[in-house]
Structure 1
Amino acid sequence: MTATDTPIGYGSMKRKEDARFIRGQGNYVDDIQLPGMLHGAVLRSPFAHARIVSIDTTAAEAHPKVVAVITGATLATLNLAWMPTLSYDTQAVLATDKVRFQGQEVAFVVAEDRYAARDALELIDVEYEPLPAVVDARKALDPGAPVIRDDKDGKTDNHIFDWSAGDKAKCDGIFASSEVVVTEDVLYPRVHPAPLETCGAIADFDKVTGKLTIWCNTQAPHAHRTVYAMVAGLPEHKIRVISPDIGGGFGNKVGIYPGYVCAIVGSIVTGKPVKWMEDRSENLMSTSFARDYHMKGEVAATRDGRIRAVRVTVLADHGAFNGTAQPTKYPAGFFHVFTGSYDLEAAYCDVKGVYTNKAPGGVAYACSFRITEAAYLVERMVDVLAYELKMDPAELRMKNLLKPDQFPYLSPTGWEYDSGDYPRALEMALEKVGYSDIREVQAAQRERWEAGDRTSALTGIGISFFTEAVGAGPRKHMDILGLGMADGAELRVHPTGKAVLRISVQSQGQGHETTYAQIVAEELGISPDDIEVVHGDTDQTPFGLGTYGSRSTPVSGAATAVVARKVRERAKIVAGAMLEVSTEDLEWEKGRWFVKGDPDKGKTMAEIALAAHGSLELPEGVEGHLDATTVYNPPNLTYPFGAYVCVVDVDPVTGQVKVRRFVAVDDCGVRINPMIVEGQIHGGLADGIGMALMELIAFDEDGNCLGGSFMDYLLPTAMECPSWELGETVTPSPHHPIGAKGVGESATVGSPAAVVNAVLDALKPYGIRHADMPLTPAAVWRAVQGSPIRPDLAIT
C-alpha cells in the first residue's frame, strides 16, 4: 500500500462522551456512593527498607468510628498476604516481614468516613528496624548490597532476569570491522503517569449471593477480574468489575494495587461496601512508575554515515517488586524494537532487570512496553554519531531510513514492520519547519557567538524519527499471566435499526464511544448517533485484556470492524429472502443491499433489521436477528511511525529552555476520527516536553522519594508548550481490517528525543555531546559549566 497526501478516515465528529464531561456529569469512582458505605485508608511505611518488629493496632481499633483494622497478619489467615503481579512475581499486599520501599502498604483502616480512617492511621504503632537501602540500580548487584527480596527462597542478590535479542556474534563482528564506533551512556529517568484522577476502588461483597462487585478505575477490567479471582479465591463468575469514567490512566491504572485488594477484604470482613481512594502523594510515591533504564548505546558506522549495527546494554530498575505489565516472553517489553527506523545489518541488546528499594512496577506508560526508552536511545545515538561525523542529523537519518520498497521489513531482531514511507514523512517535517532556513539563521547566530556576541539565546534544532510497535497480541506470542492478548466484540442491531456494540477495552479519554461507533457506522451505514458503545463492565462486555500499549484501535477496533462485517453478511442473507433473490445477486452500498443491475430494488439496514426480527421465512439453517460476536487475534503488531522536529532557544547563562516550535508528522495508518487523533498527539507532545525538561521521580540515598507532590514533580502547562504544528502521511496497515495502526502513544515515544536533541544542538558550541533528562535549567547550567572545550566560558 502506498502513502496518500490526505488522511483516509471516517471524518472528524465531536466526541459523543463530551456532553457529560463538559457539564460535570462524568461518573468517576469517587462519585459513587452506596448505602452503608465505609471508607478505607492505607498506612504506609516512612522507610524504604526496614524490618517490621511489631504492629500495635489497639488504639486505632478503639477509635469510635473505626470498624476494622487489617494487617498483613490478618491477610495471612485468609491466604491473601501476597498477590501475583503481572510479571509472575509476587508482591506483599500488606507488609509482614519487612518494608521494601517508602510508601509501602503496612495496614488498612476501615472507618465510617474517610477523615476518621485517615485520623486512625496515626494511632497505629509500628516498630521498625531500619535496614540499608539501595536505590541505584548500578549498585543493586554489587557484592554486599542489601538483599531486597529475601522473602524468596534462596535469594541472595537483587537480580530479576537476563534477556537478550539479536545476533550477538554477527553484531560483534561488524563492530570489530567498522570504520567508526560511537558509545554513550544514556539514562531514561524514572517518571510517573500522574493521571488527573488517582487510583481508587469500591468493593461490595454480598454474603447472601456470594457476589463481589468492584467499581475500579482500571484500564483492564477483565484482567482485574481474573486476578481478583486468583487472589481472593472467589469464583470468577461471581466477580463483577465496573470501570466507570476514568480521569486518565496512561498505564498507571493497568496493574493491581494493594489498596484494591484491601478494599475487597474490608468488604468481606465488615459485610459492607468499602471505598478506597488514594491521595496525590500516595499516587506518586507508590503506584507504578515508568522508565528508569540505564542504557549503554553503541553504533557502528562507515565514515560516510552508513549505520551498520547497533549494540545496547541495559540495566532495568524494576523497584522492589517486579510489577511490570509486560508480555510473558518479553520481560523487558518490546525493547528489541530498538533498531528504530533504520536499515541495519545487525543489532543486539542485552537487558538485565534488578530490584531496588523503590516503588514497584514499570508500566506501559504511554508507550508500548519499553519502546519509548528504545526509541529515545537510538535517536540520541544517531545524533551522537552525527556529532562525531560532523554530519547534519537530518542528512544522516535520510541516508539510513528504511525505504518504502523494503516493506514488509524484517528487523534484525525478528520483528516484521508492516508498511511505511519513512523518507516522505521526514521530508514533510523538514519542509514544514523550514529546516534549511533555520539552519542558516543558526549558522549566522553562531558566527556572532564565536565573535563574542553572547547576549542572545542559542537556537537548537532537534530531530527524532521513531517506529512504534503496538497492538499486542498476537496471542501465540504474547500473554500476561497466561491470558492471551486477544479482544472480543459483540454487536446487536435492534429491530428499529439502532445498534449496541460491546467491547472489551476501556476508555481512559481516547473517545471510544465515538470512534467505535464510527467504525460500525462505516461498515453498516448506520448513523454513529444510533450506535451505543458499552465498555467497562465485565458483566456486560466480552473478555479482553484492556487498554494500554495502544491496543485499542489495532486490536479492539479491528474486532469491531470484523463483527460489523459479520452482521453485514447476516443482513445480506435476510435481504436476499426479502427480495427473493440469491445472495450472489446482491451488491452492497453503504447502508443497504440491492439487486445487481437494479439499484432501485434494495433494502436498508433498518428494513433488514426489522425483517430479521419478524415473520420472514429465512433459508433453512439461518437464524434470525442481526447479532454477531467475534474474538480478534491480531496476526501481527502494527507499526505507526513519525518524524518530529523541535526548535528551542537555550539561555546558557540561566539554563532556561524555551520550546519555540514543534512540528510532528505522524503516520498511524487510516484515521477514523482525525480530530481525536490530533488531540491525542497534542497530549503526547506535551507529555514529551515534560519528560525532557522537568519530570523526575528522584530519591535520596536512604530511599526517600523526592517527587511526592506536584510542587516537586513538575508537569508541563500551556505556558511551556508551543502551538503544535501537525502533519500526516497515511500508509494503511495491510493486515488490519481497516488499515489502522494506532496513535495514542506515538507522540510520547517520539517527542522526548526531539526536545533533548534540540537542546544539545543549541549547546554544540560548548562541545556538549550528551546530557541526561530532565534538562532542567540547573542541569543545562551544569552541563555548560562542565564544557569540555570551552572552560573559559564557564559562568562564575
Structure 2
Amino acid sequence: MTAVEQPETPLGHGNMRRKEDARFIRGRGTYVDDVTLPGMLHGAVLRSPYAHARIVSIDTSAAQAHPKVRAVITGETLAGLNLAWMPTLSHDVQAVLATDKVRFQGQEVAFVVAEDRYSARDALELIDVDYEALPPVIDARQALAEDAPVIRDDLEGRTDNHIFDWESGDAAATDDVFASAEVVAAQDMLYPRVHPAPLETCGAVADMDAVTGKLTVWTTTQAPHAHRTIYALVAGLPEHKIRIISPDIGGGFGNKVGIYPGYVCAVVGSIVTGKPVKWVEDRSENLMSTSFARDYHMHGEIAATKDGRILGLRVNVLADHGAFNGTAQPTKFPAGFFGVFTGSYDLEAAHCSVTGVYTNKAPGGVAYACSFRITEAVYLVERLVDVLAFDLGMDPAELRMKNLLRPEQFPYRSKTGWEYDSGDYPTALRAALDLADYPALRAEQALKRERGEQMGIGVAFFTEAVGAGPRKHMDILGLGMADGAELRVHPTGKAVLRLSCQTQGQGHETTFAQIVGEELGISPDDIDVVHGDTDQTPFGLGTYGSRSTPVSGAAAAVVARKVRERARIVASAMLEVSADDLEWEKGRWFVRGDVEAGRTIQEIALAAHSDLELPEGVEGHLDATCVYNPPNLTYPFGAYVCVVDVDADTGQVTVRRFVAVDDCGVRINPMIVEGQVHGGLADGVGMALMQVMAFDEDGNHLGGSFMDYLLPTSMECPSWELGETVTPSPHHPIGAKGIGESATVGSPAAVVNAVVDALRPFGVRHADMPLTPAAVWSAAQGTPLRTDLAIT
C-alpha cells in the first residue's frame, strides 16, 4: 500500500477546548424538540401490547372525534399512499404501521396528529384495536425449529424464520488445523441484546410546503444525506425537493442511523394536514422499539499447542435480528465485520459462519458503538483466549504476548482476508501491563485468595476495523461509503468547512477545524464547520462505525491540501515566480532560498479575490471540493487491564481499577480522545455488568425504563488510567485511525475476564454477560444463570 503525506509530529493545536461547548454549557444547544414552527401539530404513536398478534380490526372513530385531533393515520391510510412498507438499511422491508399483524411488542400500529402532544397521547387510548394473539418466538434458537411460527409471512414464499447464512475464512484448512492440534478449547457464549440508550430520544419535525413542493425534516439522524435519499425512494418525492436538517444530537451510538416509522408518519402527517408535525418519542418508546444491538449466540473453538501457540479459530454464530432485518451493515457483509474475529493474533487458519434469524423482538443489528459487529468478535476471541489459558494453566497476559502479531508483519492480511494497516501490538500490551504493575497485582491476588477474598484481573487485547470504505467493497442500499468535503477561504482568510458527517457529541466542530487549521496555518477559531443540513453540505454516508476521522477527517485534510495548492498558484503570481519555486511552511508560501519573500495564506486569500492576473486557465478564489473514498479501513488497537473485587456471598462486583492503552494513530486533540475513551469504558462496564434487554416467555419487553434497563454511573466506574502508543496509519492523509468506538470494543471482555478470574477458585471457566450479582452468585454456585430471558 502506498504511503501518503503525513505530519511528522502530532497536530499542533492539541488540547484546545471544544468550540461547541460554549453553547452546550449555556443551554443554547438546538435539538429537534426545540424546533417550533407556526401552526405546528404534534404526533403520537399507538404501539402494540403484543409481541405477535394478528390485527383483526382497527376502529379509529372515537379518536377522530376528539376535538383537538386533526388526523388519525393507520396502515390502511399509508397503503393508499403506497407508504405502508419502507426499505431497511439491509434490503429488507419493514411495516411503517402494522397492517396484517404485529411482530414485536411496541410495534407501531397507528399515528395520531393533534393540536398538542397531550391531546395526541390522550387520543391513542380512544383507538380500539382487536388483536388475535399468536405464539411468539423470543429465542433465536427456537426460531429455526421446524414448528416455529413464521414471523415474516408477509414475504412471498416465506416458510421459516431464516434470514441469511454468511461465512468467512477457509473451512477446510481450519478443520485440518483442528484435527492435528494438541489442544482444543471450546466455549458457548452469549452477547446479549443491549440498547444504545442515548440521552436524547428519537424525533422529527416534518414540514411539507404545498406551494413549493419542498419537504423539510428536522430529525435526529446520524446520516442526513442517506435519509434524504431513502425518503425520496419511499415517498416518491424528488430528492432535490427534500431537505434534512440534523441539529444538535444528544448522543446516537448507532441508534440514530436508520429511519423509524415515527419519522415517516410525521412526514405523512404533514402531507395530510398541510401543517408541520412534530413527533418525539418518550424514554419507554425509545427503549422498547428503536434499534438494538448484539444478541449473538456464539460457539467458539480455539486450537493450540501444549505450550500455548494459537493455531486456529472456528466459530458458529446465531444472530437474532428481531422482526425486521434493520441492520446498518455494508451490503456484502450481512453479519458486519465479524470476519475480523481473528483479532490480534497470528493464526494458521480460521473460519466462521453466521446465521441470521427473525424473532418477535424489535429490529436489531444496529452498529451500536462498534464497527459493524466487531465488538462481538473481539469479545468472542478474547474470552476464548482466556478459556485456553484456563485449560493450559497459563497466565492470560503471557499467552497473549506469545501470540500477538509483530510489527514486522504489517501490513498484515488476516486469514479471513482483512488487511491490517499498521501496529505494534507487543509494545501496547507491555505498556498496559507496566502501567497496571501486573506482577504486583498477581501477588496481591495470591495473598487475597489465601484469605478467602476474591480479586480478579482481566486482560484483553483488541484490533478494531473502522472507517467503512472503499465504496467498491462497501455500500448501504447501493450508496457507496465515501464522504464529501467542501472548503472555502474567504477574502479575509477566515474559512468554512462543509462536511457530510454528523456529530453526536464527538467534538467535530473542533477536531475538523484543527485538521484544516494545521494544513493551512489558520487558527481553528477562524474556521467554521458546517454539518447536518443536506442543503448546505456535500453528500456522504454519515457518522457511525467510527467513520468520522478515518473518512471525513481524511476528506478535510485532502480538501485543505487542494486549497493549499491553489494558494501556491496565486502566491506565484503575487511573487512573480514559478509555482515550482515555492516552498510551504505552516501558514505561508515562500520563495525557495529566500524565506523573507513569501505570502501568508491570509494575504493569498485576499489576492485570490482581487484583480491579480493569474496564469491562463487558473481560476481565482481559494475554494475546493473532494470526495474521499478510503483505500482501506483503519485498524486502531489497544490493551486493557481490569481489576475487580467480587463478593462471592452476594455476587456484587466492584471495578477497582481499569488501565486502558489505546493506539488510534495520530491524535488530533488528545483531550477529545481521552473523553471518547472515558465514555467507551463506562459503556463497556455497563454491558459487562448490568445492561441487557430481557423478555419474558410472552415476548414482553422487561426493560422499558432506566429502573429496569440499568446504565453505569460514576459510582460504578473507577478513575480510568489511560496510556497510549502512536502507530500512524500509512494510508490515511494524517495518519489517524479513529478512537470513537475502541473503548467499547475492548472493555467488556476485560471486565468479564476479570470477574471470571476472580471466580476461578470456584472452578468457573465462563459466565455470560451481564454479570449481575445474581448471575455472579449463581456462577459461583455452579448454576449459571440465563440473563437475557426471564425464563429458565
| 1:528 aligned partner, one-letter code | P
Q: Residue 793 of structure 1 corresponds to which residue in structure 2?
A: none
Match of 2:397 among 394, 398, 401: 394
Q: Residue 789 of structure 2 corresponds to which residue in structure 1?
A: none
Q: Alignment partner of 2:715: what SS?
A: helix
Q: Residue 302 of structure 2 corresponds to which residue in structure 1?
A: 299
Distance in 2 of aligned mates of 1:179 and 1:576: 70
Q: Residue 670 of structure 2 corresponds to which residue in structure 1?
A: 674
| 1:177 aligned partner, one-letter code | S
Q: Residue 362 of structure 1 corresponds to which residue in structure 2?
A: 365
Q: Alignment partner of 2:372: what SS?
A: coil
Distance in 2 of aligned mates of 1:271 and 1:362: 35
- Cα distance, 1:9 vs. partner? 6.3
Distance in 1 of aligned mates of 2:60 and 2:450: 71
| 2:351 aligned partner, one-letter code | Y
Q: Residue 236 of structure 2 corresponds to which residue in structure 1?
A: 233
Match of 2:290 among 270, 283, 287: 287
Distance in 2 of aligned mates of 1:242 and 1:67: 25
Percent identity at matched positions?
A: 83
Match of 1:746 among 723, 739, 742: 742
Q: Deviations over 1:160-217 (max 9, x none)?
A: 0000000000000000110000100010000000000000000000011100000001
Q: Residue 488 of structure 1 corresponds to which residue in structure 2?
A: 484
Match of 2:628 among 625, 632, 642: 632
- Cα distance, 1:6 vs. partner? 9.5
Q: Deviations over 1:118-150 (max 9, x none)?
A: 000000000000000011001100011010000
**Is 1:619 matched with 2:619?**
no
Q: Residue 168 of structure 2 corresponds to which residue in structure 1?
A: 165
Match of 1:606 among 577, 599, 602: 602
Match of 1:15 among 13, 18, 29: 18
Q: Deviations over 1:249-301 (max 9, x none)?
A: 00000000000000000000000000000000000000000000000000000
Q: Residue 555 of structure 2 corresponds to which residue in structure 1?
A: 559
- Cα distance, 1:8 vs. partner? 6.3
Q: Residue 218 of structure 2 corresponds to which residue in structure 1?
A: 215
Q: Alignment partner of 1:42: what SS?
A: strand
Distance in 2 of aligned mates of 1:382 and 1:354: 28
Q: Residue 459 of structure 1 corresponds to which residue in structure 2?
A: 455
Q: Deviations over 1:6-56 (max 9, x none)?
A: 966641110000000000000000001000000000000000000000000
**Is 1:689 matched with 2:692?**
no
Q: Alignment partner of 1:337: what SS?
A: helix
**Contact kept in structure 2, 1:647 and 1:758, CA below 8 Å:** yes
Match of 1:25 among 24, 28, 32: 28
Q: Residue 49 of structure 2 corresponds to which residue in structure 1?
A: 46
Q: Residue 321 of structure 1 corresponds to which residue in structure 2?
A: 324
Distance in 2 of aligned mates of 1:278 and 1:466: 36
Q: Residue 506 of structure 1 corresponds to which residue in structure 2?
A: 502
Q: Residue 336 of structure 2 corresponds to which residue in structure 1?
A: 333
- Cα distance, 1:446 vs. partner? 1.9
Distance in 2 of aligned mates of 1:586 and 1:444: 68
Coordinate RMSD, CA, aligned: 1.2
Distance in 1 of aligned mates of 2:8 and 2:333: 37
Match of 1:733 among 715, 729, 733: 729
**Is 1:191 matched with 2:209?**
no
**Is 1:517 matched with 2:513?**
yes
Q: Residue 664 of structure 1 corresponds to which residue in structure 2?
A: 660
Unaligned runs of 5+ in 2: 785-792
- Cα distance, 1:447 vs. partner? 2.6
**Is 1:534 matched with 2:534?**
no
TM-score by length of 1: 0.97
Q: Residue 260 of structure 1 corresponds to which residue in structure 2?
A: 263
Q: Alignment partner of 1:349: what SS?
A: strand
- Cα distance, 1:785 vs. partner? 1.3
Q: Residue 155 of structure 2 corresponds to which residue in structure 1?
A: 152
Distance in 1 of aligned mates of 2:307 and 2:553: 44
Q: Residue 790 of structure 2 corresponds to which residue in structure 1?
A: none
Match of 2:590 among 567, 572, 594: 594
Q: Residue 371 of structure 1 corresponds to which residue in structure 2?
A: 374
Q: Residues 401 and 591 from structure 1, CA distance in 2 versus in 1: closer, same or farther, beyond 3 angstroms? A: same
Distance in 1 of aligned mates of 2:441 and 2:533: 52
Unaligned runs of 5+ in 1: 450-456, 789-796
- Cα distance, 1:339 vs. partner? 0.2
TM-score by length of 2: 0.98
**Is 1:276 matched with 2:272?**
no
Q: Residue 479 of structure 1 corresponds to which residue in structure 2?
A: 475
**Is 1:721 matched with 2:717?**
yes
| 1:448 aligned partner, one-letter code | R
Distance in 2 of aligned mates of 1:785 and 1:443: 22
Distance in 2 of aligned mates of 1:521 and 1:640: 24
- Cα distance, 1:362 vs. partner? 1.1
Q: Alignment partner of 2:342: what SS?
A: coil
Q: Alignment partner of 1:338: what SS?
A: helix
- Cα distance, 1:787 vs. partner? 6.9
Distance in 1 of aligned mates of 2:580 and 2:558: 21
- Cα distance, 1:361 vs. partner? 2.5
Q: Residue 706 of structure 1 corresponds to which residue in structure 2?
A: 702
Distance in 2 of aligned mates of 1:561 and 1:204: 36
Q: Residues 7 and 579 from structure 1, CA distance in 2 versus in 1: closer, same or farther, beyond 3 angstroms? A: closer
- Cα distance, 1:441 vs. partner? 1.2
| 2:500 aligned partner, one-letter code | S
**Contact kept in structure 1, 2:83 and 2:235, CA below 8 Å:** yes
Q: Residue 115 of structure 1 corresponds to which residue in structure 2?
A: 118
**Contact kept in structure 1, 2:481 and 2:629, CA below 8 Å:** yes
Q: Alignment partner of 2:105: what SS?
A: coil
Q: Alignment partner of 1:672: what SS?
A: coil
Q: Residue 345 of structure 1 corresponds to which residue in structure 2?
A: 348
**Contact kept in structure 1, 2:321 and 2:359, CA below 8 Å:** yes
Q: Alignment partner of 1:603: what SS?
A: strand
| 2:151 aligned partner, one-letter code | I
- Cα distance, 1:4 vs. partner? 13
Q: More deviation in 143-152 or 3-12?
A: 3-12
- Cα distance, 1:692 vs. partner? 0.2
Q: What number of residue pairs does the alignment pair up? A: 780
**Contact kept in structure 1, 2:11 and 2:515, CA below 8 Å:** no
Correspondence 1:232-251 to 2 at 5 A: 232-251=235-254
